[in-house]
Structure formats: C-alpha cells, structure tokens
Amino acid sequence: MDNALHEPQTIVLLGGTSDIGLAIVRELLSPTTRVVVLACRDTAKGEVAAAGLRRDGLTVDVVEFDGATPATHQAVMDGIAARHGDLDVVILAYALLGSGQATSRDMAEAVEVAHVNFTGAVASLVAAGNVLRAQRHGSIVVLSSVAGERVRGANAVYGATKAGLDGFAQGLGDELAEDGVHMLVVRPGFVRSAMTEGLPAAPFATTPEAVATAAVKGLRGRRRTVWVPGLLRFVFMALRHTPGPVWRRLPLG
Amino acid sequence: MAVLSQVARRTLTGWGRTNATNADVVAVANHEVAAALGAAGGRGVLVRGLGRSYGDSAQNSGGLVLQLEGSAHEAVLDEAAGTITVPAGVSLDDLLRRIVPRGWFVPVTPGTRFVTMGGAIASDVHGKGHHLTGSFGNHVRSLRLLLADGTVADVAPHRRADLFWATIGGMGLTGVILDVTFALLPIETSRMTVDTTRLPDLDAVFAAMEEGDADYRYSVAWIDPVGRGRHLGRSVLGRGDHATLAQLSPREQRDPLAYGPKVLATLPPLQLPVGLINRTTINAFNEVWFRKAPRHREGEVQTIATFWHPLDMVGGWNRLYGAKGMVQYQFVVPFGQEGAIRAVLERLTEGGASSFLSVLKRFGPGNPAPLSFPREGWTLAVDLPVAIHGIAELLHGLDRIVLDAGGRHYLTKDGHTTPAAIAQGYPRLEEWKAVRRTVDPQGMWQSDQSRRLGLTD
C-alpha cells in the first residue's frame, strides 16, 4: 500500500538487472519501502544488484523470471504477491535491443526480439494487471521508447516491439484505471546504459537516473506518459509528420 | 439479497484526501450486517463511519466497506443511570442535538462532531478533557460486537474484557460494533465558560499547563507556527468548563440548553489543483489569530460549537489543501520528553513547513486498551499540506524524534508511518493481535491501514 506521501511499500522489477529499472527502484526507495523483488533471468547478476540495495528493514528478493517464457509470468507474479502481500509498483524494464539493422535480416534474432519485447511484455502486463486489478490499487511502470514513436530502419524490430507494447500498455491502462490501478508509460530517448554500451549516442541522449527521476515524478502525479528528456515529446510530434524521404535521411544515430 | 444489490464501487479517501483506493461500498442497517458479510471476498470487510480519520484507516481497497445506518432517535437514554445506548452508525452531531437540550453531554468529544459512535470507539477518541477524564473508551459501559463468525458478543470492561479493550481503539478490526452504551455527563447549560491566556514561548506553555490544568475540566493550547527563535511555541491557551446556570446572562438563561450548531458555509466539491493553504496564507492566518487573542481573559461564555468544533463551521475545509491533500501529524511523548516537542517544532519551522493548525495538549493516564493512543504525556497535532517540498523526508525525520523519545503515533491520523514505527510505539501490539486472531482467524476484518502497517498479519 502506498502511503499518504506516495511512497510505495513493495516494488517489483521485471528485468531485475536493468540499469534503468534499478535506477527507478533506487529513486522510489524510502524508509517506507518494505520489499523489493528483482525478477530476472540471470539470478547471479540479480544477487549483485540486490546486494547494492539491501539495508535495515528492507527485504530484497531475487526471483527467477524469463521474459521469453510468457506462460510462466502469471505464476511468477502470483507467487510474489502471495509471499509479500499487495504490490504497489510493478516496473516492466526488460527488453532485447537486437543488433540494429542486422536483426531485420536475421530470422532467429528478429523472432526472439519480437517474442521477448512484445509477447513476453504483454504477458507480463497481463499478469501484473490481474494482480493489481484484484487489489484495486497500485501502479505499473512500462519502459517504452521513443524508438516506437516512429520506427526507423536502423532498429525496426526493436522499434516495432516498443510501438506495440506502448499501444497495449495505454489500452490496458485505460481499462485498469476503472479499478484504481495506474499505468505509466515512460518513453526515454537514447539512454546511456549497459544495454547501449558501445553504441554511438543519439541526439538528446539521457541517463538511467534522469529517466528514474522523470518516472517517479510521473508516478506521484499519476501521469499517463512521460518523455525523457521532456523535450522529446515535441521533437517526435514533429518527426511523426516528417515526410518519408526526409525522415530516412535524418541523422538520428 | 436486497442489501447486496445496493453495493456500489466507490473511490474512498480519508479526511486528508491522500491515497485514494477503490472498494465495494454498501449502507446497511444493524440487522443486515451479518447477511452482508456473505459478500466478503478475499480482501475482507471494514466498517466506515463518516470518513474523518485522516489517512487510510477507513478504506479497504478491493474489499467490502459497510456504512451503518442509524438514527439518534433509536438511542435509549437512561436518565436515572446517566447512560445512553446508541447504534454505532449514529453521528455525534445527531446525538448532541438530541441530548444537549435534555441536559446531557458526551463524556468525550474530538475536535469534530462529524464522527460516528462506532468510529469514536474504534479510534478511542480523546478531547480537551483527557488530562482529567481520559478517552472515550474510559466511559463505555458495554458494546455489542458482531464477530466474524456471525455471532454477536456483548462485551464490557468486566465481560470478555480482553475483547472489549481490543475493540477500544481497535480500528474496527475486531468486529462490527453494532451499538454502544456509555456514561453521559449532566450539564446545566449548553454553554462553556472559557479562560484564555496568551503565552510568549514553549516553556511558558509547558509551565502554565503543568500548574493549572488540574483546575480546568478542559484545556488545550493552540501553537502559533509563525513563532520561531525565542518565540518558538508561542501559544494561546484556552481552558474551560461547562457553564453553570448562574454564569449565563439573563437572556441566555431563558433557554439555557439551547443547541443548534450551524455550518456557516460548505466548500463546493471542486478539486483545486493547487491548495489555498500554503506558507503565506498559513502565516497570515496564524499571525492574526495570535494577535486577536486577548493577553488574558476569564469567564468568557462560548457555545459548544465554538469551543469544541470550530472547524465544523466550514463544511469540507479539507478541500482547501488542494489535489495533493494533507496529513495530520499527531504523536504523544511521555512527560520529561518536552525536548522532543521543541525539536519537532524546530524541524517544522526550519523546513518551512508551517502548520495551519497546531495543537498541544497534556494527556492524563491511558486506559487498558492495547492500541489506544493516549498515554500520559504531551501530544502535539499539526496539519501539513502534502504539497510541501520534501515532506516525506521531514516526516520520517520527525518519526525518529518521536520514537527515540519513547513516543508514538495516532493510528487515526496516520498515513505514512511504518510497521516498525507502530510496533515500537505500541509495545502491546502483539497482545492485541493475539486477541484479534482468536475472534478473526480467517482475516475477515481488514483495512488499507491494517495491511500497510501489518496490523492484521
């Protein structure tokens, strides 16, 4: 149960080793927080992240979870709720970036990225939505991306999965609102993190910490969408309507 | 069943209008409660009175919330014994309109008359008379309590005493209080006689209350939050008693028990995005309030409404705090820990967190109820807008001062403390939980607060 100051007691991070996800968890932590659950595929890496969060009065659990096995998501989420009680914030932070244009030519990789980023993520949101709907309170934070706002040739599969996820999250959020559940879609630009290591930064590049600050502000204000940096909202408003021949030539990184 | 067809989904908040949650709400008469429990799902049942607890005490997200119907006309007054039996859903407002003209007053009233009798017991409310007469539970002779198994228990200080005292201050988590019998106070008039003194600083307030409180049935100090430095804690001390017939003017004597409190204005149910209560307006209001108080005045005759329930004159005043709402921070620290009161006031002024209303009171001894808030010591209550920058850090800091001083927080006001803070402040919490488990092994009674603070684990 969030307290009167919008501080959550229980936080679940799907993609428990994600830089952005962990930055949001750190931004949310307060003396009120009782439980953080890091749900991830690589539990050894998850334990390292957990060690960095642990302190007096805070339980940090690492739970095995794989975005690529959507059929297991409900059971994992129900198990977390059974163990820790009401869930206040669920953060969906896992995704595969793929390898840019090459992904569009590599059948196996394209299917895997689409499966994890979209099918898996949809299953995770359904699972989280079911738990939060029953308790009739709580928030879901979905890490979308500006890459989904207008999909580029340079990362078409990744961008398309984010476009699909973003759409589903908004629709589900509208439905969940009637049950007192809040959905926040976060659309960062290029974020310097482990996921993008070695890639050249795009314009308006940001950091996991900046994304976390904006996301938590959005949570407290019960916003539906947050862009990071905020200016990107207007940049993409223009880019959406840029003619194709121009769009293709833009130096977007 | 007819009752359950009336169930409506509603968004509920406490009086502070923070953390809204969603529940299935239904109004029921006392004889329908047992049947209504059939609609309870895994998220349990809670009775909500008039929603005047500030935090999440009267919410049950995803569960069933019952509102008890009841009228003061059903109350049974035993003038010979000086007691009354009242359905739990009756408001103090209704009850006072019925009993004051007959020469009776409630043994304890909180700062608002818009509470139900059931809520008064669940919170074990206190008032300006605690130093002499204790909290509401001290005056309860018996209760009828509907238990989770559908049976009705008749409990009293000498009958199932453990369950009786677990219910006093038990936040509605032991069963549904159906009706209550308690002792009344006979009064000659419906007026109060009040002595007012302006005091220059906190030490003067402590000293004046320690010396003089025993001479007054009622006593409370209003602290001016504008006072800082050597003026920290400057206050207006108001103390009084019920006026006797002889103390009234000849005009007032013609109708000595007249009682008709009015709500002068009600704020429209608009959501103000930004509150009207901020540092500037708070300081201006309090400066004026302090200056207009007399240095010293004795024997002023006031109405019950003016002395007891001044805020009730403005309906919906909590909306002034804007969309983010407010918290009321109330705690008690034992005598000898006056430094904690000073430290809290200093923190508030340093943090730029002026309180619209700050009230200091000396508590007398507590009662045997394990979760009852009052205990011997000083209690301070401050109203704070949630919109204050850094309020979370500020309040967590205050929590440490309070707990380090051996103090505790009032569950009825609480919206932000932690399970650990409550466990530390209420050393008999486990004893209370054990009693609760014997009458509610399946966890029928739940609230947002009980889940947040682990009261019903």
Give the residues of chain A that fall short of pLDDT 50: none
Of the partner residues B14, B18, B451, the one whose CB lies closest to the CB of residue A86: B451
In a domain, B428, yes or no: no
In a domain, B403, yes or no: yes
* B391 neighbourhood in chain A, CB within 8 Å: 5
Domain match, B165 and B197 both = no
Closest C-alpha among A179, A185, A139 to residue A165: A185
In a domain, B16, yes or no: no
* A32 neighbourhood in chain B, CB within 8 Å: 392, 396, 416, 418
Domain match, B151 and B201 both = no
CB contact under 8 A, B416 and A4: yes
pLDDT digits (tens, 9 = 90+) for B345-381: 999 988 877 777 899 999 999 999 999 999 999 999 9
In a domain, B11, yes or no: no
Domain match, B340 and B359 both = yes
Cis peptide leading into residue A229 (ω within 30°): yes
Of the partner residues B42, B395, B451, the one whose CB lies closest to the CB of residue A5: B395
Domain match, B277 and B360 both = yes
Q: Which of B141, B166, B187 is the last residue of a domain?
A: B187
Domain match, B209 and B348 both = yes
User: Do the beta carbons of residue A242 and residue A252 sit within 8 Å?
Assistant: no
Percentage of residues in chain B having pLDDT higher than 90? 80
CB contact under 8 A, A180 and B418: no
Domain match, B303 and B352 both = yes
pLDDT band at residue B3 under the 50/70/90 scheme: low
Pairwise CA distance, residues A16 & A28, whole Å: 15
In a domain, B347, yes or no: yes
Nearest-by-CA chain A residue for B387: A5
In a domain, B176, yes or no: yes
Q: Report which of residues B265 and B386 the model is more confident about.
A: B386
* Chain A nearest C-alpha distance from B429 (Å): 18
Q: Does A2 touch chain B (CB under 8 A)?
A: yes
Q: Which of B187, B209, B230 is the last residue of a domain?
A: B187
* B323 neighbourhood in chain A, CB within 8 Å: none
Best residue of B57, B412, B418, B457 to probe chain A, by most A CBs closer than 10 Å: B418
CATH number at residue B169: 3.30.465.10
Domain match, B165 and B233 both = no
**Residue B20 one-letter amino acid:** A
Q: Is A158 a catalytic residue?
A: yes
Domain match, B242 and B181 both = no
Cβ neighbours, 10 Å, residue B350 = 10
Strand B176-183 with B140-146, pairing? antiparallel
In a domain, B36, yes or no: no
* Chain A nearest C-alpha distance from B330 (Å): 14
CB contact under 8 A, B392 and A30: yes
CATH number at residue B219: 3.30.70.2520
> In chain A, positions 181-220, which contact chain B (CB-CB < 8 Å)?
none
**Catalytic residue, candidates A158, A164, A183, A189:** A158
pLDDT band at residue B287 under the 50/70/90 scheme: confident
> In chain A, positions 18-37, which contact chain B (CB-CB < 8 Å)?
30-32, 34
Q: Which of B152, B187, B222 is the last residue of a domain?
A: B187
Domain match, B107 and B214 both = no
Pairwise CA distance, residues B262 & B339, whole Å: 40
Domain match, B142 and B239 both = no
In a domain, B49, yes or no: no
All domains in chain A, ordered by first residue: 10-249 (3.40.50.720)
pLDDT digits (tens, 9 = 90+) for B132-168: 999 999 999 999 999 999 999 999 999 999 999 999 9
Domain match, B159 and B306 both = no
- In terms of residue numbers, what domain contains B399? 191-418
Q: What are phi and psi of B432, to 5 degrees?
A: -65, -45
Domain match, B162 and B225 both = no
Give how far Cα A156 sits from Cα of A7, A110, B389, Å.
37, 10, 43
When divided into structural domains, chain B yields a total of 2
Best residue of B448, B449, B453, B457 to probe chain A, by most A CBs closer than 10 Å: B448
Residue B216, pLDDT > 60, answer: yes
ipTM: 0.90
